[in-house]
Chains A and B, each alone.
Chain A
Amino acid sequence: MDVRSYFPALDRQVYDKPLIYFDNAATAQRPQAVLDLQQRLCVEACGNIHRAVHKLSADATDFYEAGREAVRRYLNAPGRENIVLTSGTTASINLVAACFCERYIEKGERILISAAEHHSNLVPWQLATARQGAQLEVLPVDDAGELSVEELDRRLKAAKGRIRLLAVTHISNVLGIVNPVKDLIETAHRYKVPVLVDGAQGILHETVDVQALDCDFYAFSGHKIYAPTGIGVLYGKKQWLEAMPPYMGGGEMIDTVTFEKTTYAPLPLKYEAGTQNFVAAACLSPALEIARKMAEEPALQENLRTMRDYLREELQKIDGLRMYGQPRDPEKKIPLFSFTVEGAFPADLAQILDKMGIAVRSGHMCAEPLLNRFGQTSMLRASLAPYNTLAECETFMTVLRRAVRMLR
């Protein structure tokens, strides 16, 4: 499988240098099949879904629902009604935070999140708990960046039923550690606490089977797994999705409307008010198909491990470099490295790397509390996808060493 040929953006040059795209945790590049479908639908099936009887609307609806079915299969969800399409991970989490807290949390109760959360799995809970007079509690990470299942157990026991939900990331966008979500979920369930998993990073790097995980909610964005921006997914167990109140009101989420009372559409449409991004939703089908193919290709998986091990080793050779997220089991790390280098500020390094055609992320990475936990306000992050190459990693290291020398 010549994976790079699927992604036209990988061929481009920036500042007359071949692009090395190492910011995949922010957004992934898109395969030609997705771009083709996107354009085709805009021409052939631009009719509003689930509404009209005409051909364009019917075709658009079929494509949209096929996108949902592709997600259902990818996650091994039991049914169509478990898959709510949203605009992204952030929208999915906001939905659960608002609707779950409205129905299930009261003054003095708490939502438990981990210290490794992206702002998107933190601020929505802050807003929703504040509205109910409830609080946030934070499950710490240790110096390696790992969460402890025992600590979770201890906290749930001490909370005596006052913790109503655990929201935790599958893989932190800063630490790149695959969290033991299955164990965390099992433990939470022993205390009858439901669990939302933020899968923004997990969806690309892990095989996600929501039934095997037994998570109550799983949220992810299309654009981090080769689909367009503006489409996201919320998987939810039926019992919760049925019991929670609707989120936004509007078209499509209703059954009947009178001025006195409205009854709501059955799942999943109850949570899909307004015209959805149906073209992007349809593009989930080819995107997930390619993701599946890439995940099943042993050579690509081997490539990811090789690049990871190479970078882990080479980065640590740089004098004064500190890496964040080093799990005890080295296999629990994805090829995502956040680090700081003494005497070389992340934004400066990123600026020099950019001029050499290398796209990396710098800054607080939407996880200020986590960076503070490690005494930093800013880090540099290189995050890889299966289409990156060892040769790119070697160039990256050469340029990084040179940039560090320039800055010191």
Chain B
Amino acid sequence: MKTIQEIQADIVDEFSVFTDWMDKYEYLIDLGKSMPLIDEKDKTESNLIRGCQSRVWLSCREEGGRLYFAADSDAIITKGIISLLLKVYDGQTPEDILAADEGFIEQIGLKENLSPTRANGLVSMIQTIKAHAAAWRGSKPQPETPAAPKTDLESDIILALRQVYDPEIPVNIYDLGLIYDIQADADGQVFIRMTLTAPNCPIADDVVAQVREAVSDVPGVKDVQVDLVFEPEWTTDRMSEEAKLELGML
């Protein structure tokens, strides 16, 4: 079977023929209509993901080390996008699902549909898919709490980091759990190790620059070094309780 990357590349290819949004939407609507429905018995409260705009149901079963998903939504465009996501993830291993990202959605020009402000349940659905994968991997990823402050200077740095936002997500990067390590020595040399929610994040440079700027402004800081890493991979388990509440995940 094809790998996640191959399937994503196919989808990007498929979409490259559309020149305007109307064609794209019509295609998504067709996909949504032809998508096999979730079994009625699986349309349960526990499989329901609520958005203000539309509701999404997702069920997951495991067979021979691979995960199989079924889903439904009351909104047809949302359902079309779900069918793309399921095309990518259906039948893959938990490890591969956890390692994958959804950057192809942006490449085919549907990024705004994945924005949390759309409140259509898609973002929560992706998180749920990942959570299923994490659960089936056997050992759940160890939730690592954001780096805790050791000195006053580090507390001030954290305050500064809390002013920096990923433009897509209404929660600051510290509470999102994107900061893995903060080291500040007595001379004001600061070292920050951080990640982003997705490896191919198009605004990566901006976020790093913002971090550098915010931390440089902290009194006592002389020099800032930011190391952007993608290992270990960020997961929603790293978010603070407040962040999860803010994004409606609790």
Which A residues are within 8 Å of any B CB, using their own CB? Answer: 345-348, 350-352, 355, 362-364, 377-378, 406-407
At the interface with chain A, which of B21-29, B179-187, B197-205, B242-250? B21-29
Q: Are B76 and A407 neighbours in the complex by a CB distance under 8 Å?
A: yes
Chain A residues within an 8 Å CB radius of B29: 348, 406-407
In B109-160, which residues have CB < 8 Å from any A CB?
119-120
Complex contact B54–A345 (CB within 8 A): yes
Which of A347, A355, A363 has the most chain B CB within a 10 Å cutoff?
A347
Say what secondary structure dominates the interface of chain A.
Answer: helix
User: In the complex where A345-B54, A364-B52 touch, is A377 in contact with B74 (Cβ < 8 A)?
Assistant: yes
Return chain A residues, CB-CB under 8 Å to B22: 355, 406
CB-nearest residue of chain A to B52: A363
Interface hits, B162-186 → A, CB 8 Å: none
CB atoms of A362 and B53 under 8 A apart: yes
Complex CA–CA separation, A295 to B27 (angstroms): 46
**A residues in contact with B77, CB < 8 Å:** 347-348, 351
Complex contact A347–B25 (CB within 8 A): no
The total of interchain contacts (Cβ-Cβ below 8 angstroms) comes to 39
User: B78 to chain A: which residues have CB within 8 Å?
Assistant: 347-348
B26 close to A378 (CB less than 8 A): no
User: In the complex, what's the smallest C-beta–C-beta distance from B147 to chain A, in angstroms?
Assistant: 35
Which residues of A sit under 8 angstroms from B37, Cβ to Cβ? none
B25 touches A355 (CB 8 A): yes
- Residues of A near B226 (CB, < 8 A) are none
A346 CA / B52 CA spacing, docked (Å): 11
B9 within 8 A of A: no
Given A352-B25, A378-B53, A378-B54, CB of A363 within 8 Å of CB of B75:
no
Cβ–Cβ contact A406 & B25, under 8 A:
yes
User: Does B55 make an interface contact (CB < 8 A)?
Assistant: yes
Is the CB–CB distance between A347 and B120 below 8 Å?
Answer: yes
Q: Is A363 in contact with B119, judged by CB distance below 8 angstroms?
A: yes
Give chain B residues whose Cβ lies under 8 Å from the Cβ of A362.
Answer: 53
B52 adjacent to A345 (CB under 8 Å): no
For A364, give the chain B residue with the smallest CB separation: B52
- A351→B55 CA distance, assembly (Å): 15
